[in-house]
Amino acid sequence: MALALPMLLLAACAGAGRGAGETPAAGGPGETPTPLPTLASEAGRPVVDLTLSADEIVLDPMPLRAGFPFTVTALVQNNWPTLAENVPVMVVISAVREEIGYSPYTHLLTVTVPASQSLQVDLPVAWNFAGGEHQLWIQVNRLPDAWQARAPTWPEDDIRDNIALVDLMVDPFDAYTSELCSGRVDVEIGPGDILPEPDRQRVWVRVRNVGNRAVYNLPVTVVSARATGIAYTPAIPPCGGTAEVVVTIDRPFQEGDTLTVQVNPRGWEGGLEEDNFDNNQVAVTAGLAPGLALPEVTVEDYDFSISTADIEIPELWHVLVTVHNLGTRDAAMVPITIENEAGRKLSDAIPLVQGDGSGIAAVRVGYLWIPGGTLTFTVNPPDAAGAFPETQRENNTATFTLP
């Protein structure tokens, strides 16, 4: 499935720009090979000769990181002694392993390449790429038939050198490191981060990431003389980021019971190697201690916002949404929901919304598309799985009218 889109594009492009009088390529064994098609010049559209090389494609900054924009730079060479005007350039980035809700990146632009010279094409890419292997396809003067009306191609004798393929590795969010704190891997919990709730048979735990590397899916265990429980953290940003988990206990416990709580226990199979395990464990007594209460989240932690001006349509059936975070903490996989007037709804997530910054989500909304209809966007809805604690939600919703 991962290569379906690029392969379909290649197949569709195979006949792009061919003349009506060409003959097919070589047949099976025993048949006389026929020459590759030669394009006849159309009236007012001279033949061109353009090339593109994967060796001359540059991505910056490197390494690529989930949730961070980057720029693709390609060099288009014009081998013809005439100017090539309004030449279409198509860029496609797709995941090798696509997940549900994933939207590949596609962009079409036109350029003018001087005669017998090369042209540097810079394309900023802002898309919600998650971590993992991706492929970048760039095609010049070579388009699927369905795209010809949007940007007609020029006649060209040989388009085999008009495409370049580059393998991309996007570092996942847990590879994200910050320079805001010292270079160590360290998560911690303290007595004030634990709230046992015997009446609900659960323990509320807040985990702090005081290291400079983002972490996720760390085990949080609770053990008493008669009961145990385990839960796993969501992604936790570095340099003071926090995550809250609720550990359900398998057997009843009572006020006064001693509970041992650990995050990322030392020696856990598949666990994270830390520079300091001494702050990963704490013992508490079930029942609220004097002065202990659920810690309140301040506006300085997470404060997401979205507005109509932050929503655009880069391609048909897609929307590009920029979400701002007025708080100070980076947030990974921030949930977002989109709903149309008919009540149809879909959910997605922004891989990274930086503290005192922003994050971008590209969402395929064909299921919700009603011409002239209104879409309602809600970032970090309180009832969503993985929602972040937030005190200011007045600016978490925006509407957008479809064309």
Our separate counts of H helices and E strands in the chain read 1, 25
C-alpha to C-alpha distance for 131 and 124, rounded to whole angstroms: 18
| Domain 187-285 CATH (choose: 1.10.1420, 2.60.40, 3.30.70, 3.30.390) | 2.60.40
C-alpha to C-alpha distance for 324 and 123, rounded to whole angstroms: 23
In the CATH scheme, what architecture does the domain 304-401 have? Sandwich (2.60)
- pLDDT of 57 > 60? The answer is yes
Average pLDDT, the chain: 79
The 10 Å CB-count burial string (b at 16+, else e) for 5-38 is bbeebbebbeebbbeeeeeeeeeeeeeeeeeebe
- pLDDT of 12 > 70? The answer is no
For the beta carbon of residue 334, count every other beta carbon within 10 angstroms: 25
For the beta carbon of residue 305, count every other beta carbon within 10 angstroms: 19
Cis peptide before 63 (omega within 30 of 0): yes
- pLDDT of 20 > 50? The answer is no
What is the average per-residue pLDDT within 363-380?
91
337 or 200: which leads in pLDDT: 337
For residue 263, the cross-strand partners are 220
- pLDDT of 204 > 80? The answer is yes
| CA terminus-to-terminus distance, the chain | 31
CB 385 within 8 A of CB 335: yes
**Window from 25-34, 307-316, 320-329, 353-362 with minimum mean pLDDT:** 25-34
What is the tens place of the pLDDT at every residue in 93-131? 887 776 545 567 888 889 999 989 999 999 888 776 777
pLDDT at 173: 65
Domain ranges of the chain: 4-15+34-171, 187-285, 304-401
pLDDT at 292: 42
pLDDT at 38: 35
Tell me the pTM: 0.54
Going by pLDDT thresholds of 50, 70 and 90, the confidence category of residue 238 is confident
What is the average per-residue pLDDT within 73-80?
93
**Window from 68-82, 175-189, 224-238 with minimum mean pLDDT:** 175-189
- pLDDT of 31 > 60? The answer is no
CB 341 within 8 A of CB 369: no
Going by pLDDT thresholds of 50, 70 and 90, the confidence category of residue 357 is confident
Tell me the helix, strand and coil percentages in the chain, rounded to 5: 10, 40, 50
In the CATH scheme, what architecture does the domain 4-15+34-171 have? Sandwich (2.60)
Number of residues assigned to the chain: 403
**Window from 76-90, 282-296, 344-358 with minimum mean pLDDT:** 282-296
- pLDDT of 340 > 90? The answer is yes
Same fold, 187-285 and 304-401: yes
259 is written with which tokens? 């509970």
- pLDDT of 1 > 70? The answer is no
Going by pLDDT thresholds of 50, 70 and 90, the confidence category of residue 45 is low
pLDDT at 10: 45
76 is written with which tokens? 């288009």
C-alpha to C-alpha distance for 237 and 332, rounded to whole angstroms: 7
Going by pLDDT thresholds of 50, 70 and 90, the confidence category of residue 176 is low
232 is written with which tokens? 């796993």
- pLDDT of 339 > 90? The answer is yes
What is the tens place of the pLDDT at every residue in 277-311? 999 999 988 765 433 444 444 445 788 999 999 99
pLDDT at 32: 41
